[in-house]
């Protein structure tokens, strides 16, 4: 059958999972399904119309708007290009009510608790101090479905409290989960309750969103950037 890929060993399976273009395969399957569905629909429509004619039944006309309303929605452009939703994620310490996975679970609600939330208290305790000014920055990362170049990044901000990270975020691309080896690819203004879209110029398999303790504006605590991130979506640009 078309679009089925066979493997002859576990190593061969792993290699295919890592190297095959699964997004392209999915698009091909969707296209072929639509073609087969169209052929089947046309065949049965004509067959039933002939049966109705033989029995003297007049075909009932269906308003065009009713047909359009009942048509199942196809995949959106974002879904076909999506490299990040429900992929492995991590970053700075997360609060128990704001784990890393919340920032790429596909849910774009912008209110608490639908976000990744840096655990400032936990980080301070690990340093043997109290939360407050001078705690530094925080970040989040996602491993993309495949390496990419110049992806589009969509980002949804919290509906409040963005002064906690200075209303500005930095995007980086890298080839591991180590942010120190990643390269900055974009800076976005990220005030409360907005959807931001930008192109991240660079290449890599990991995308980072970083809140820095300097370079933003209106920080709640000087020298401290607490990242809160409801949703990030990375869309292939290559």
Pairwise CA distance, residues 173 & 182, whole Å: 5
Do the strands 195-199 and 152-156 form a parallel or antiparallel pair, or are they unpaired? antiparallel
pLDDT at 214 (0 to 100): 97
Pairwise CA distance, residues 93 & 230, whole Å: 16
Pairwise CA distance, residues 148 & 203, whole Å: 6
pLDDT at 66 (0 to 100): 46
pLDDT at 75 (0 to 100): 56
pLDDT at 67 (0 to 100): 43
Q: What angle do CA 150, 153, 159 make, to 5 degrees?
A: 165
pLDDT per residue, tens digit, the chain (238 aa), is: 566 778 888 888 888 887 877 777 777 777 677 667 767 877 887 788 788 778 777 655 555 554 455 445 555 678 889 999 999 999 999 999 999 999 999 999 999 999 999 999 999 999 999 999 999 999 999 999 999 999 999 999 999 999 999 999 999 999 999 999 999 999 999 999 999 999 999 999 999 999 999 999 999 999 999 999 999 999 998 7
- 179-202 burial: b if 16+ Cβ within 10 Å, else e: beebeebbebebeeeeebebebeb
- The pLDDT tens digits of the residues spanning 7-42 come to 888 888 888 887 877 777 777 777 677 667 767 877
Percentage of the chain lying above the pLDDT 70 cut: 88
pLDDT at 49 (0 to 100): 78
Contacts of 114 (CB under 8 A, 6+ apart): 102, 107, 230, 231
């Amino acid at each position: 059958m078309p679009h089925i890929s066979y493997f002859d060993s576990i190593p061969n399976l792993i290699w295919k999972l890592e190297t095959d273009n699964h997004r392209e395969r999915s698009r091909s399957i969707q296209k072929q399904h639509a073609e087969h569905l169209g052929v089947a629909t046309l065949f049965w429509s004509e067959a039933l119309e002939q049966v109705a004619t033989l029995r003297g039944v007049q075909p009932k006309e269906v308003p065009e708007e009713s047909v359009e309303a009942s048509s199942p929605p196809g995949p959106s452009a974002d879904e076909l290009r999506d490299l990040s939703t429900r992929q492995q994620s991590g970053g700075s310490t997360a609060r128990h009510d704001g784990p890393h996975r919340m920032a790429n679970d596909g849910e774009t609600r912008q209110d608490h608790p639908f976000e990744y939330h840096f655990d400032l208290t936990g980080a301070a305790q690990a340093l043997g101090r109290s939360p407050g000014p001078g705690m530094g920055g925080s970040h989040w990362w996602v491993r993309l479905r495949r390496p990419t170049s110049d992806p589009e990044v969509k980002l949804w901000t919290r509906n409040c409290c963005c002064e906690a990270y200075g209303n500005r975020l930095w995007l980086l691309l890298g080839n591991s989960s180590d942010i120190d080896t990643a390269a900055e690819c974009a800076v976005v203004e990220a005030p409360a309750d907005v959807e931001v879209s930008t192109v991240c110029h660079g290449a890599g398999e990991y995308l980072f969103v970083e809140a820095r303790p300097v370079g933003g504006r209106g920080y709640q605590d000087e020298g401290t950037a607490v990242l809160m991130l409801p949703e990030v979506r990375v869309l292939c640009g290559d």
